[in-house]
């Protein structure tokens, strides 16, 4: 097995185990076993656990945001509401994500809650993820005729994070739908024709 294949297998195992059980509860030996690599190979790919944690979070960020954007592109373009449908499609995607087996909330807030006080790298990656999400939502909102699009984008991201927390912590399956309704009301109040 070459370095790239080993790295991918380790990251796959880390994503499953870290997201499912938390970072601190998963040891490197367990990761090695789950990935099917030697301990020596694991440490060749990731010299320390914090290197693996950072790589896991960065890869998850990339995949999560790509899946969101792909969904919004595919579903919002099919609706007649034009650009106003795009920010609301984010909440539709959240609803599908919340229904997936193994949904455990926001990996970045989970990691920050576990390690943010002791790991600047985890805090940095978590902040970068949230800033990228805000940038994405702001881009969607700027295409809609609303007053203060930057403010509206921040409000929508708060709804997104609140829906994720509600779905994860409270087992609230309708959190995405409720947040979507609130988002549509905010967009309407800001001058959009959204429904």
Q: What is the pLDDT of residue 193?
A: 45
Contact criterion met (CB below 8 Å) for 152 and 138: no
pLDDT for 29 beyond 70: yes
Q: What is the pLDDT of residue 80?
A: 59
Which residues lie below 8 Å from residue 58, measured CB to CB, with a gap of 6+?
A: 125
The beta strand positions in the chain, using DSSP E, are none
Q: Is 82 left (phi over 0), alpha (psi -120 to 50) or beta?
A: left
pLDDT for 195 beyond 80: no
Lowest mean pLDDT among 21-30, 138-147, 170-179, 186-195: 186-195
Backbone dihedral angles phi then psi of residue 53, each to the nearest 5 degrees: -60, -45
Backbone dihedral angles phi then psi of residue 14, each to the nearest 5 degrees: -60, -45
Contact criterion met (CB below 8 Å) for 176 and 167: yes
Q: What is the pLDDT of residue 76?
A: 77
- Strand, coil or helix: what is 116? coil
CA proximity to 95, closest of 171, 167, 153 = 167
Q: Mean of the per-residue pLDDT values for the chain?
A: 93
Q: Across residues 54-76, what is the average pLDDT?
A: 96
State CA 153 to chain mean position distance. 16
Q: Across residues 80-104, what is the average pLDDT?
A: 92
Helical ranges in 143-191 per DSSP H: 149-169, 175-189
- Report the C-alpha gap between 90 and 151 in whole angstroms: 17
């Amino acid at each position: 097995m070459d370095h790239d294949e080993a790295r991918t297998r380790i990251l796959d195992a880390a994503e499953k185990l870290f997201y499912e059980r938390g970072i601190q509860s998963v040891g490197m030996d367990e990761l090695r076993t789950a990935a099917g690599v030697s301990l020596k190979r694991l440490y060749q790919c990731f010299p320390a656990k914090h290197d693996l944690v950072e790589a896991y979070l960065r890869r998850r960020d990339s995949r999560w945001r790509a899946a969101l954007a792909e969904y919004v592109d595919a579903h919002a373009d099919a609706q007649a509401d034009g650009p106003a449908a795009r920010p609301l499609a984010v909440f539709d995607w959240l609803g599908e994500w919340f229904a997936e087996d193994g949904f455990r909330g926001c990996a970045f807030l989970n990691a920050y809650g576990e390690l943010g006080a002791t790991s600047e790298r985890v805090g940095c990656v978590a902040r970068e993820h949230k800033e990228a999400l805000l940038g994405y939502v702001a881009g969607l909102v700027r295409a809609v005729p609303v007053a203060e699009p930057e403010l509206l984008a921040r409000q929508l991201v708060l709804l997104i994070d609140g829906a994720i927390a509600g779905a994860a912590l409270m087992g609230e399956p309708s959190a995405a739908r409720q947040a979507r309704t609130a988002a549509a009301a905010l967009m309407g109040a800001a001058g959009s024709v959204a429904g």
